[in-house]
């Protein structure tokens, strides 16, 4: 019985890693749509979010079933509760990818990101996608060391966010107000994807070590 129970817990984490892989794909495709003006790719991201939502519901149903039928305690309870929180973070990352895709769709056939901001936004997208990819591995392996490294690497995203504001508010910005609003929103979306990735990584550390995520070093 206990063996089957722990198989359920492992299955929940496998599902979480699978959702994270789908979010990684959503971030990649949303960025591709954004930087190329491909409305078909943007639509793919937007419509594909329903699958991530269904996966979240399945994880929640499984976790709640475990709570009600197995009455887990100690480390097992920590795992189930953390999974419920992590799946919400992952769903939100998917939603943010949809927001990026919607900006891409709104500006087609033009490209939403002006040349002045292209390198910064492209790098933010690259960092966000890499962090999501690594988060999937952290979930799969329950890798505490990689989780700590991910938190340190989030510093680059914060630096890029500040750089984007410097570009927008500087005297050399010539792309106009509409483009400035788009770039400000996009910077926020990618930054939040990275923030959610860090939060998920902290939850993994909590599952493995029992340390409160709020007390972990950045």
pLDDT, tens digit (0-9, with 9 covering 90-100), for 182-215: 999 999 999 999 999 999 999 999 999 887 655 4
Residue 57's domain is classified under what CATH number?
1.20.58.220
Q: 44-53, 72-81, 173-182, 203-212: which range is least confident on average?
A: 72-81
Instruction: Please answer whether residues 23 and 98 qualify as being in contact, where contact means their C-beta atoms are separated by less than 8 angstroms.
Output: no
pLDDT of 137 over the 80 cut: yes
Check residue 67 and give its pLDDT.
77
Distance CA 48, CA 78 (A): 31
Share of the chain above pLDDT 90, in %: 72
Check residue 99 and give its pLDDT.
98
Residue 32's domain spans which residues? Answer: 2-215
pLDDT of 179 over the 50 cut: yes
Instruction: Please answer whether residues 97 and 125 qualify as being in contact, where contact means their C-beta atoms are separated by less than 8 angstroms.
Output: no
Check residue 5 and give its pLDDT.
64
pTM: 0.92
CA dihedral of residues 188, 192, 194, 198 (deg, nearest 10): 150
- Residue 7's pLDDT band (cuts 50, 70, 90): confident
Cis status, amide bond into 125, omega within 30 of 0 = no
Please tell me the total count of domains within the chain: 1
Distance CA 79, CA 82 (A): 5
Check residue 216 and give its pLDDT.
45
Collapsed DSSP state (helix, strand, coil) of residue 21:
helix
């Amino acid at each position: 019985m206990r063996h089957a129970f722990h198989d359920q817990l492992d299955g929940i984490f496998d599902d979480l890693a699978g959702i994270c892989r789908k979010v990684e794909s959503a971030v990649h495709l949303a960025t591709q749509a954004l930087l190329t003006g491909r409305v078909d790719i943007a639509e793919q991201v937007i419509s594909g979010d329903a699958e991530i939502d269904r996966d979240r519901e399945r994880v929640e149903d499984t976790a709640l079933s475990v709570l009600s039928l197995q009455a887990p305690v100690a480390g097992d309870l920590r795992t189930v509760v953390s999974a419920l929180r992590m799946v919400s973070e992952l769903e939100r990352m998917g939603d943010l990818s949809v927001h990026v895709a919607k900006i891409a769709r709104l500006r087609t056939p033009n490209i939403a990101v002006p040349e002045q901001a292209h390198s910064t936004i492209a790098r933010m997208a690259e960092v966000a996608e890499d962090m999501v990819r690594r988060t999937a591995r952290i979930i799969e392996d329950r890798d505490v060391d990689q989780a700590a490294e991910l938190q340190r690497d989030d510093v680059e995203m914060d630096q890029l966010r500040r750089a984007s504001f410097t570009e927008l508010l500087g005297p050399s910005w010539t792309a106009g107000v509409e483009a400035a609003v788009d770039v400000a929103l996009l910077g926020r979306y990618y930054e939040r994807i990275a923030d959610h990735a860090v939060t998920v990584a902290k939850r993994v550390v909590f599952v493995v070590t029992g340390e409160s995520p709020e007390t972990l070093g950045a």
